[in-house]
Structure 1
C-alpha cells in the first residue's frame, strides 16, 4: 500500500468521530442544575408548613450551604473529580429527595384523612408545587447518577450509559459535540412524570429503571389524588 493510500485510510477515522458523550470534554456548565436546586429550595420555603419537614427555613438553609460549597468547588463547569465534592453533591441530592418525599407523603395523608384545606385553588397550588418538586428532584438525581455524575461524564470514566438517548441511537443524525446535560435530564423527568413511562429515553441500568418507576408512581398518586380532591371540593 502506498503512502497516499495509508494517509487516506488513516483519514477515515475523521468520517466517524467519537461523539462527545463517549470522550473527555470540558464538562457542562453548572448553572442549569443550580437554577433547578434554587427552584426546589424556593418551593420548599413557600409550601405550607404541613408539607415541609421542620421549620420552613430549615431545608432551604442547609441546601444553600451545600450548594455554595459545591459552586466554590466547581464554579463554572462541573469537571472536578474529588471525593469530597462528590459526597457533598450526593448529600444535597439526598436532602432534596427527603424533602420531596416528606411533602408527597404529607400531602397524600392530608388528602386521605381530610385535613388538607377545602380551598380548591390552594390545594391545586400546593399539589402543583409538590409535583414540580418531584420533576426537578428526579431530574437532578438522573443528572447526578448517570454514568457516575457530571464530572465523571466529563472525563468519560464509564463507557456504558445508564440512559440511552436518541442521539446515541442515531449518531449520524446528531451533532458529534452533543452530550447529555441537565436540560436533557429535565426533559426525561418531565416526560416520565406526565406519561408515567419512558418516552424516547430508555433506562439501561437497574437503578435507572427503579428511579423512573418510583417517579412515575409518585407522580401518578399525587396527580390523581389532588385532582380528585379538587373536583370533590368544587362539586
Structure 2
C-alpha cells in the first residue's frame, strides 16, 4: 500500500544530503562533506531496517529520524544566515546567491515534508490500519479526510501528500488545501514558511539592488 512505503521519504532525504555538497563554498567555512556525512550516518539505520516498506516498528528509529530532521533544518538555518551575511558583501556574486537560495529552498521543502510525515498522527506506523495502538489525533486535515464520496473511504496520506503540503507552504507562505490542526504542526509550518519567505526576499533584494 502507498502509505506503507518508506523509500520515497528516504530518497528525498538522500537527495537533500547530496544537495548539501553543492552549497557554494562562500557560505560555509567547514568542509562541505562534514555535515552531510553526519546526516547520512543518522539515515543508515533507517534505510537498513526499512529500506522500501515499513515493516519493523522500532521507537528508537523514529527518534533517530527526528534527530536527522533537526540536523537538516539546523544546517539549512546556518546556510540561510550565511547567505544573509554574504548579501552584505560588496563582492557578492549574484549567481552564487541564486544557487544558494535554490538549495536552501529545496532543502526546506523536503525536510519539512519528512517532518510532517513523521509526526502526523504519531508517524507512518501509527497511521497503518492494522496498527494495534490507539490512533493519535491528526496533526493535518487533508481534504480527502472530509470527503463522503465513493473511493475515498479509509484514505490515508502517503509521503507525496506531505511533500505537496510542504511545497505549497513554501510557495504560498501559508496553508492551502491542508490545514494544520495541532500546535506542533502550526509551529513547524510557520517556521517553514518563514524560512521560505526570507530566502526568496533575499534574492528579491539582490535583484532590486542590481536594477
> Does TM-score exceed 0.5, indicating one fold?
yes
Whether 1:207 aligns to 2:184 is: yes
- Given that residues 152 and 158 in structure 1 are in contact (C-alpha distance below 8 angstroms), is that contact kept between their aligned partners in structure 2? yes
In structure 2, distance between residues paired with 1:184 and 1:26: 11
Q: Select the residue among 166, 169, 174 that pairs with 1:192.
A: 169
Deviations 1:183-227 (A, max 9, x none): 111100110111111100000101101111111111111101112
Whether 1:59 aligns to 2:35 is: yes
Whether 1:139 aligns to 2:113 is: yes
Q: 3-state SS of the aligned residue for 1:135? A: helix
Q: Select the residue among 135, 139, 144 that pairs with 1:162.
A: 139
Corresponding position of 2:126: 152
Structure 1's unaligned 5+ residue stretches are 1-24
Q: Per the alignment, do residues 197 and 53 of structure 1 end up closer, same or farther by CA in structure 2, a change over 3 Å counting?
A: farther
- Given that residues 138 and 215 in structure 1 are in contact (C-alpha distance below 8 angstroms), is that contact kept between their aligned partners in structure 2? yes
Q: 3-state SS of the aligned residue for 1:153? A: coil
Corresponding position of 2:9: 33
RMSD, matched Cα:
2.1
- Given that residues 28 and 79 in structure 2 are in contact (C-alpha distance below 8 angstroms), is that contact kept between their aligned partners in structure 1? yes
Q: 3-state SS of the aligned residue for 1:151? A: coil
Relative to its length, the structure with more helix (as a share) is 1
Whether 1:224 aligns to 2:201 is: yes
Deviations 1:88-126 (A, max 9, x none): 112211211111111112112322x326x5332232121
Q: CA deviation at 1:164?
A: 0.3
Structure 2's unaligned 5+ residue stretches are none
Q: Per the alignment, do residues 86 and 184 of structure 1 end up closer, same or farther by CA in structure 2, a change over 3 Å counting?
A: same
Corresponding position of 1:5: none
Corresponding position of 1:178: 155
- Higher Rg: 1
- Given that residues 47 and 129 in structure 1 are in contact (C-alpha distance below 8 angstroms), is that contact kept between their aligned partners in structure 2? yes
Corresponding position of 1:48: 24
TM-score w.r.t. structure 2 length?
0.89
Q: Which runs of 4+ in 1 moved over 3 A?
A: 50-53
In structure 2, distance between residues paired with 1:227 and 1:78: 42
Q: Select the residue among 99, 114, 122 that pairs with 2:75.
A: 99
TM-score w.r.t. structure 1 length?
0.81
Q: CA deviation at 1:177?
A: 5.3
Larger relative contact order, structure 1 or 2 (CA cutoff 8 Å, min sep 6)? 1
